[in-house]
Structure 1
Amino acid sequence: MTDMQSNFAQSDAYLSALISEVRSVPVAQAMPTMGRRTFFKLASAGAAGLVLGFHLGDAAFAAETVNGNISDGSDQVMNAFIRIAPDNTITIYSKAPEIGQGIKTSFGVIIADELDADWNHVVMEQAPINPKVYGSQGAGGSTSIPRAWNQLRQAGAGAKAMLIAAAAQEWAVDPSQITAQDSVITHAASGKSATYGSMATAAAKMPVPDPKSLKLKARADYRLIGKRYRGVDDPKVVTGQPLFGIDVQVPGMVYANYTKCPAAGGKVRSFNVDEIKAQPGVLDAFAVDGTGMMVEVMPGVAIIAKDTWSAFKAKDKLKVDWDLSEASTDSSSQFSAEAKKVATSFPEKFDDNVGDVDKSFANASKTVEAFYEYPFAAHVPLEPMNTTAHWHDGVMEMWVPTQQPDRGLPMVAKAAGVPEEKVVMHQTRVGGGFGRRLVNDYACEAAAIARKVNAPVKLQWTREDDFSHDFYRPAGYHQFKGAIDKAGRLDAWQEHFITFTADGKKEASGANLTDNLRYSIKAPNLRRAKTMFPLKIPTGAWRAPGDNAQVFAAQSFMHELALASGRDHVEFLIDAVNRDVPELVAKDASVNFSPKRATDVIKMCAEKAGWGKSLPKGSGLGFAWCYSHAGHVAQAIELSVDANKGIKVNRIVVVLDVGPIIDMAGSEAQAQGASTDALSTAMGLKINIENGRIQEQNYNAYPILRMPFAPMTIDAFFIQSDNPPTGMGEPAFPALAPALGNAIFAATGERVRRLPLRDLGYSLAV
């Protein structure tokens, strides 16, 4: 058995324990078949879906597979997240997809801290996909940590309570007299102690504690949370072990590629089927009508071959007669030209309207106007889209590198034409997502193809497929006008946002004005309105959705206003964010914007960056801040610009308040990675669309930052607090681009109002 098969065998054993009763779905023929298991002592922990006390019916049916073999059943499953072995090994199941953001490590740390486990003996595994047991299992928008925070802590605390209860019963002592640390339970008065492993069988028989009765740790009591950890899968990743969807191997597997119309919305009339079937290694070729939904299955041609290379080579010979009657004719250059024409005509219908903007402009000491724009952008993660699907025994079994498996289940069922309970989905590690894999179109395509193929089939996209059929970050255009009063304060903010609509009624996916800016941009007099252009090209969430480019426009314009006020930029920002003005969006549990937290990150970032220090000619220090995905973040960038517009980045400083840090090493890596990604995006990334077709087809035309040009120094600092934690994948991204533009202005006097910077002649110097 290969390492990958062994890996899936272990997860499938646990999967069968969860699915056999909930879904009555037979496990894969390629996987070990498990005996009957029963559920009892199920206690819900609210909408999050935590199931404390997910127990095995009896020890005889406690068998788990290890390297393909059935164990003796002595391991005990404490709940849906925790399994404890006699040797004191604790297996913790991570319910969310690992896409490089370190969630598999962080989830384990959260559970292990409340469990008071010995981290050196914790093994992390991917949980099965079963939202009925785990609740939300997606990853995106930096929501994994905040959604699961209390759920995971309750899982660890509940298991510990059951272990302590078992020890108290065996020793005939009060549970309150027992302590737990490093996977050992101790009763100091009697001198008795026991490992978790030795007590696990008895603990599994204890009553399940009410989640409301569990006392969770205060931040001062954390033993594991906040320390530095190596990613639990790092050794496997760096040694090339098969973890990703692209690595999946199933006996008897064939390979597929799927070709869709280069202009979104086109349909297949016919194709050179006989020629394609005659190509070396090709087993079959057929057209797929699809569901007509971009997020599911669009019409196309499937090529089935004995290997990926044969499928790709046959694709080169493919000639399709496309029906373009409903296909996109979108043009990004036309959008940009039209936006400039309509920008200064402010719409009559307002989205936001506070105070009296016109009166403020009339009485202003100074007014400033500016037009900002940014382009479409693609996700293009390193691992192209892929899915392995096997239609067998009335079941659609799949191995998918997805960010949203629970969202994908009903969509796959629809594409395959089967009930949802007949879909079994295995989560693989994801080779980059950035929001692209929030959409499960590639999984739906694989399911539709697998229904027509009498074998397991791996659908593999080419790099060009990835570029041509993404769900792109929408371009955007902002016409701003601001007023400064006689005291040098921001008094009015007017914004005409020009964006896109797919249905003529609401903004296209990812094209709405982010609510985060409704909190972070504060003025006594404020007015916003939008114009929407029709768009057929599919769009979607892109790393730090909305904020990723809109913060560039807003915070760059804030710098223009600060200069017009004659005040220090940092002082101006602090004053603006603390203005006592009405909120535009009703606060609820999902919003934790705080002027104080914003002020604190701004002040610390300015201090750490050496704000106000003297710099050589041609050098500049730029600054910006944002409230993004429940995080308060400030960034500064110090750089120099030579006579040829070559930019040398000397240092980036990022300060974040995202609540308590789970894994310090992982959080620093995310802050540094997001800053680097943001620099790469601001400098070079742009998707051009003409006649509905994507012009950039590979990395050679889409210059993602190369290693020699990566910033050498990115210093990340954290203000830790008792506020609920948020994720780290998004918040450190948005403020980098405006800080970069503001630094260029400080160094050269040239205002950057358009991205990417390579269009303005700038480049990065080594």
Structure 2
Amino acid sequence: MTPSKKITFNRRSFLKSSALASGGILIGFNLFNACKPEAKMPVDISQLNYNDFNAFIQISDEGKVTIYSPNPEIGQGVKTSMPMIIAEELDVAWQDVYVVQGKLDTKNYTRQVAGGSQSIRHGWKPLRETGATARQMLINAAAAKWGVDASECKTKNGVITNAKGETLSYGDVVKDAALLEVPEKVTLKDVKDFTIIGKGKNNVDIDKLITGKPLFGMDYKAEGMVYASVLRPPAFGQVLESFDDSAARALPGVIDVITIGEKARTYLSTVKKKSWTVQLSGSDKVVVIGKTTWDTIKGKKAIKAVWKNDSDLESTEDHDKVLLDILDGKKFKTRRKDGNVKKAFANADKVLERVYESPFLPHNTMEPMNFFANVTPEKVHLVGPVQTPEEAANVVSDLLGRNLEDIELEMTRMGGGFGRRLYGDFVYEAAEISSVINKPVKMVSTREDDMTTGVYRPAIKYKIAASIKDGKLTGYHLKEAAVNSNMYGLIPNFFPAAAVENFQVDTANYKSNITTGAWRAPYTNFLASAEQTFFDELAEVMGVDRIKLHMDLLDNVKKNPDPKIEYSPDRLQDVIKLAVEKSNWGNTAEGVYQGFSVYYCHNSHVAEVADIVMENGLPVVKKVTCAVDCGVVVNPLGALNQIKGGVIDGIGHTMYGDFAFKDGIPQSNNFNSYQLIRMGQTPKVDVHFIENDLDPTGLGEPTLPPIGAAVANAIYAATGKRLTKQPYINNLNLDKVLG
């Protein structure tokens, strides 16, 4: 075992009591080193107030351990993997651990967020130190009871043993440990000594999931609760002019029809700095209140509303045409500029230039947007699935003019998010509805609501050009034109930054009423496809091997290190080698065509090879070999689920995802007109990890970006046709795509 550095968080990061009613020790910890000094520990655990804590360890007299998980669980597995990290350093048997979802605590913690694939990366050391500190306190208590030095004692599975072979369980010394000082230094385990981390563990909610126990926002119910369905503008840029609700009010089960929007407009007009996670419409909305969800849906369909255009923005534009015009224009912001691209192109023997295009995409969460709110004079009680609970609580506080201390937010498990639930518009609607009707209410959206009035991945077009001189790549210029790209933009320090002497990336923005935002693997989900498809063609034009081109460019980076780049050239080369080896690159059976891609994002390095075959004249993805360097893999079982899910999700949207607007109106409203990947279309995904002792990095998103190019490059190998516009295949244009 190796000593860790001195713990950097203060002693109040560990909150303990010497007189717990349960006879156990309660150790509170700050997940992200943000513990505030005003946090206090109640004397009696039965008096525990979740506003004081959101993440802690409880140990009973029987040696059982309860770990409260603070982060939102969106299906990425943090409710399992984060407690695993604590349990590892606490040195308890995993079967003796109970995991409970914590509530939002704005007083003590600052990053209760599900987004960016950052939960494990940010929590790795604090979580380990939390478990190790608790373990050391228990050892110290046992050593004092035996009258021996603590260094003579060891632990295993919740049992402490001294040099004589005498043993005490954690439960035997938990009361004594509660009286001791918190140690300032602790020793962390060597990675080689891990017994929980690195071993596949089932999702802690698996039994409840498969038996249908209430876990999700849609499952939540409260006494006296009514339901609400919101009628929003049918086109982006429209506002409500008038409505007739007589038919809706006549329906049985409809309780009331109201409008909301005033509080949102007031908030938007007064807030000084709107967070990127706030998506509020300035229009009034008609809300049907009913006894059941079905009552509200029927009532909403009976509303006769008149909408009018009320915006200076041109949401009726042809986005494809506008973005192409922007690419040919000159209004760009340079994000990075190395050398002289213009000169390199002027002196080139050959220039390759391509334009890559992607459509808007909805998020398609399995569980539609919903949230519970009960606004009373005493407090605002919020319950439901949201990726940014603290931001949601802050906005509701401002929206309703309530003190933040009045807001109590409970998190439920989420039936998908993919970035959609970063935006709390559904939370704000529920809160405003409850404030108007003075009742507890559950706002529930339909699939059509989600698909037509949501937040979308923006339509983006890239123009990529490269100059070749004497057989070498001398210049690289990438331009991005995107809808609302002030929220996106290029990643200027990702590969191939620093790999090419003359290198430039530029961005341009087209403002639209259509609400856009983060979509799984934001920034990179299409950028990786465009760049890696381009590099495949570039290698062919240059007459060099595809793999060698990447390796040589990465060697350039190693020869001339650039402190600004975020990727590791060595780690990228390692995943390339592993993917090439495991995929049997270049040596497949007859009729199997391969495509290669590699990318870095969310702090992880991934290389992928797609194998396709042609069936009835169409390409079918049969297998994907995925090589991943994400540092230490905390829960291999959960990691495989994330990796395979990312690959399959990426294939589905690359091949089939197509979403368009006409006069600001979405042209698809459900899965009968918007195709997702089918189970029969999912390939085998063969996953291989780079084994190292480096700190964990992101995993929920990094495997999605590379797959688009791997598939496109494999299709080229099979058909000789370069694909530059997504989706590559859909039910309407198969012949057009394949020729």
Q: TM-score, normalised by structure 1?
A: 0.86
1:543 aligns with 2:517: no
**Does the 8 Å CA contact 1:374/1:477 hold for their aligned counterparts?**
yes
Q: How far did residue 92 of structure 1 move?
A: 0.7
Q: Secondary structure at the match of 1:570?
A: helix
Question: 1:73 corresponds to which residue?
Answer: none
Question: 1:600 corresponds to which residue?
Answer: 574
User: Which among 715, 722, 727 is matched to residue 698 of structure 2?
Assistant: 727
Q: Give the Cα separation in 2 of the matches to 1:738 and 1:678.
A: 10
User: Which among 618, 622, 642 is matched to residue 595 of structure 2?
Assistant: 622
Cα deviation, 1:341-360, whole Å, max 9, x if unaligned, reads 44344557633221122332
**Does the 8 Å CA contact 2:631/2:693 hold for their aligned counterparts?**
yes
1:405 aligns with 2:389: yes
1:138 aligns with 2:113: yes
Q: Report the AA paired with residue 609 of structure 2.
A: A
Question: 1:357 corresponds to which residue?
Answer: 341
Q: 1:143 to 1:421 in 2, by over 3 A?
A: same
Cα deviation, 1:729-758, whole Å, max 9, x if unaligned, reads 101100000000000011110001000012
User: Which among 336, 339, 349 is matched to residue 320 of structure 2?
Assistant: 336
What is the 5 A alignment of 1:298-697?
298=282, 299-326=284-311, 329-331=314-316, 334-345=318-329, 350-486=334-470, 488-501=471-484, 507-509=485-487, 511-515=488-492, 517=494, 522-580=499-557, 587=564, 592-617=566-591, 619-642=592-615, 644=617, 646-697=618-669
Question: 2:271 corresponds to which residue?
Answer: none
Question: 2:69 corresponds to which residue?
Answer: 94
Q: How far did residue 219 of structure 1 move?
A: 1.4
Q: Report the AA paired with residue 86 of structure 1.
A: D
**Does the 8 Å CA contact 2:389/2:411 hold for their aligned counterparts?**
yes
Q: How far did residue 121 of structure 1 move?
A: 0.8
Cα deviation, 1:496-525, whole Å, max 9, x if unaligned, reads 211233xxxxx332x311345356573111
Q: Give the Cα separation in 2 of the matches to 1:314 and 1:277.
A: 7
Q: Report the AA paired with residue 90 of structure 1.
A: V
**Does the 8 Å CA contact 1:661/1:725 hold for their aligned counterparts?**
yes
**Does the 8 Å CA contact 1:327/1:692 hold for their aligned counterparts?**
no
Q: How far did residue 537 of structure 1 move?
A: 0.7
**Does the 8 Å CA contact 2:660/2:666 hold for their aligned counterparts?**
yes
**Does the 8 Å CA contact 2:28/2:55 hold for their aligned counterparts?**
no
Q: How far did residue 134 of structure 1 move?
A: 3.3
What is the 5 A alignment of 1:218-257?
218-257=190-229
Q: Which moved more, 1:647-656 or 1:127-136?
A: 127-136
Cα deviation, 1:677-720, whole Å, max 9, x if unaligned, reads 00001011121011111111011111111112111x11011113
**Does the 8 Å CA contact 1:227/1:662 hold for their aligned counterparts?**
yes
**Does the 8 Å CA contact 1:412/1:447 hold for their aligned counterparts?**
yes
Q: 1:763 to 1:604 in 2, by over 3 A?
A: farther
Question: 2:10 corresponds to which residue?
Answer: none
**Does the 8 Å CA contact 2:473/2:500 hold for their aligned counterparts?**
yes
**Does the 8 Å CA contact 1:347/1:529 hold for their aligned counterparts?**
no
Q: Give the Cα separation in 2 of the matches to 1:256 and 1:185.
A: 55
Q: 1:471 to 1:437 in 2, by over 3 A?
A: same
User: Which among 75, 81, 91 is matched to residue 56 of structure 2?
Assistant: 81
User: Which among 131, 146, 167 is matched to residue 156 of structure 1?
Assistant: 131
Q: How far did residue 476 of structure 1 move?
A: 0.7
Question: 1:206 corresponds to which residue?
Answer: 180
Q: Report the AA paired with residue 127 of structure 2.
A: L
Q: Report the AA paired with residue 451 of structure 2.
A: F
Q: Secondary structure at the match of 2:556?
A: coil
Question: 1:63 corresponds to which residue?
Answer: 46
Q: 1:241 to 1:483 in 2, by over 3 A?
A: same
Q: How far did residue 453 of structure 1 move?
A: 2.1
**Does the 8 Å CA contact 1:141/1:629 hold for their aligned counterparts?**
yes
Q: TM-score, normalised by structure 2?
A: 0.89
Question: 2:84 corresponds to which residue?
Answer: 109
Q: How far did residue 269 of structure 1 move?
A: 2.7
Q: Secondary structure at the match of 2:430?
A: helix
Where structure 1 has 5 or more consecutive residues not aligned to the other structure, the ranges are 1-17, 19-34, 71-76, 502-506
Q: Which moved more, 1:284-293 or 1:94-103?
A: 284-293
Cα RMSD, aligned residues only: 2.9
Q: How far did residue 421 of structure 1 move?
A: 1.1
Q: Give the Cα separation in 1 of the matches to 2:686 and 2:414.
A: 27
**Does the 8 Å CA contact 2:28/2:56 hold for their aligned counterparts?**
no
**Does the 8 Å CA contact 2:477/2:503 hold for their aligned counterparts?**
yes
Question: 2:94 corresponds to which residue?
Answer: 119
Q: Report the AA paired with residue 709 of structure 1.
A: Q
Q: Give the Cα separation in 1 of the matches to 2:335 and 2:728.
A: 31
Q: How far did residue 161 of structure 1 move?
A: 1.3
Q: Give the Cα separation in 2 of the matches to 1:423 and 1:584.
A: 49
Q: Give the Cα separation in 1 of the matches to 2:611 and 2:128.
A: 40
What is the 5 A alignment of 1:278-297?
278-290=250-262, 291-292=264-265, 293=268, 295-296=279-280
Q: 1:582 to 1:387 in 2, by over 3 A?
A: farther
Question: 1:74 corresponds to which residue?
Answer: none
**Does the 8 Å CA contact 2:490/2:505 hold for their aligned counterparts?**
no
**Does the 8 Å CA contact 1:377/1:472 hold for their aligned counterparts?**
yes
Q: How far did residue 647 of structure 1 move?
A: 1.9
Identity of matched residues, %: 34
Cα deviation, 1:308-340, whole Å, max 9, x if unaligned, reads 1100000110112224222865247x2212333
**Does the 8 Å CA contact 1:396/1:416 hold for their aligned counterparts?**
no
Q: Give the Cα separation in 2 of the matches to 1:514 and 1:577.
A: 17
Q: Secondary structure at the match of 1:227?
A: coil
Q: How far did residue 580 of structure 1 move?
A: 3.3
Question: 2:272 corresponds to which residue?
Answer: none
Q: Report the AA paired with residue 126 of structure 2.
A: Q
Q: Secondary structure at the match of 1:532?
A: strand
Q: Secondary structure at the match of 1:498?
A: strand
Question: 1:744 corresponds to which residue?
Answer: 715
Q: Give the Cα separation in 2 of the matches to 1:647 and 1:763.
A: 14
Where structure 2 has 5 or more consecutive residues not aligned to the other structure, the ranges are 1-12, 14-19, 269-277
Q: Secondary structure at the match of 2:632?
A: coil
Q: Report the AA paired with residue 472 of structure 2.
A: R
Q: Give the Cα separation in 1 of the matches to 2:53 and 2:460.
A: 50
Q: Give the Cα separation in 2 of the matches to 1:442 and 1:584.
A: 46
Q: Secondary structure at the match of 2:580?
A: helix
Q: Which moved more, 1:47-56 or 1:263-272?
A: 47-56
**Does the 8 Å CA contact 2:624/2:685 hold for their aligned counterparts?**
yes
Q: 1:288 to 1:614 in 2, by over 3 A?
A: closer
Question: 2:246 corresponds to which residue?
Answer: 274
Q: Secondary structure at the match of 2:371?
A: strand
Q: Secondary structure at the match of 1:484?
A: strand
Question: 1:186 corresponds to which residue?
Answer: 161
Q: Give the Cα separation in 1 of the matches to 2:650 and 2:498.
A: 21
Q: Give the Cα separation in 2 of the matches to 1:151 and 1:647.
A: 47
**Does the 8 Å CA contact 2:497/2:503 hold for their aligned counterparts?**
no
